[in-house]
Amino acid sequence: MRVPSEPIYQGKPLSQWFTDGSERLTGTQLRTLGPGAIKWLTYQAAQSRLWNPDDVPSDASLFTRLELWTHGKLHDDPLTKRDIVNFEAIEALEALGPDAASAVPALIKVVRDGDNDNRLTAPNALAAIGPASWPAVSEAIRHGTHRQRLVLIMKLPVRFSEIAPPQSGAEFSEMLALLLSMVHDPDPYIRGYAGSALKKCVEVRRGSPEFAAGIRAGAGELAHLPNEERKFIADVFSGLGLDAVASAPALEALVDIGNRMTRAHILGALAVVEPDNPRWPALLHEGVASPDKELSSFSEDALIRAGR
């Protein structure tokens, strides 16, 4: 790929602004340089690489390991001028916000291949770009490398911060449904970060139409999940309480499907999200009377959680 021409601001190349201790340029200042600056910044961001051996993922290529070994042999200081420019380019793309939409593929690459500082900063730039970055972010969360999935889920709450443009209702609903699918992921770290991000979603949009749409979409996936995962998601809805009322139709459709314990978890969620429906506590009371000690104990606890 041909290296884009480096922009000049007030007589100094951008790389010099990045490395001589100058104050960071603002988005307004960077915009005066035109689209050429975004091309150059995108190129520099995409060159991000690992420089700390502790950051090497288990699936790193032999070339990556060789490059890191060579880097360590040639430089006493792990950070070179190139590394500083790469990092500052990501920060500059964040400052440009939505104007830097063309940099989204490069920033997704940084999350996969960059060192720890860069991969944790790139999601901030993606969030600042706003809705234009969401399709690529959601795709990487679903199908990216373990490193990409972990970092992007962990940093999703940034999309609710002051650096991010407002989300569309559709984007938020998709995000909420995606997080609900992640809270039963086999990886404990992904589960944990998804749970934290889900909690933030509840804080910022509870009661909104898009929140209800996301809950409905997430609950709709229950029919396609195995029993253990259904139980897990049903318990999440129980924890959300009345905020998860939109899950009721999908939960009700599963009441007579699956094993007895799965049914009990679903009934427990329904007793919480539909507190005025007497059917759910009545069925849980039947579970309490069961000779199955596990079922009886869970049903009793579910009634207590539902205030029955």
- Note the pLDDT tens digit of each residue in 170-202: 999 999 999 999 988 999 999 999 999 999 999
Q: How many other CB atoms sit within 10 Å of the CB of residue 167?
A: 20
> Which one is predicted more confidently, 57 or 137?
137
The predicted model scores a pTM of 0.85
Please give the share of the chain, as a percent, with pLDDT higher than 90: 78
- Average model confidence (pLDDT) for the chain? 90
Q: How many CA atoms lie within 13 A of 45 on its CB side?
A: 33
**pLDDT in the model for residue 19:** 92
Which contacts (CB < 8 Å, 24+ apart) does range 14-22 have?
14/40, 14/41, 14/92, 15/44, 15/81, 15/85, 18/84, 18/85, 18/88, 18/89, 19/81, 19/84, 19/85, 19/88
Please give the share of the chain, as a percent, with pLDDT higher than 70: 90
CA pseudo-torsion sign 205, 207, 213, 217: positive
pLDDT tens column, 104-127: 999 999 999 888 889 999 999 999
- b (16+ CB within 10 A) / e for 64-80: eeeebeebeeeeeeeee
pLDDT tens column, 198-246: 999 999 999 999 999 999 999 999 999 999 999 999 999 999 999 999 9
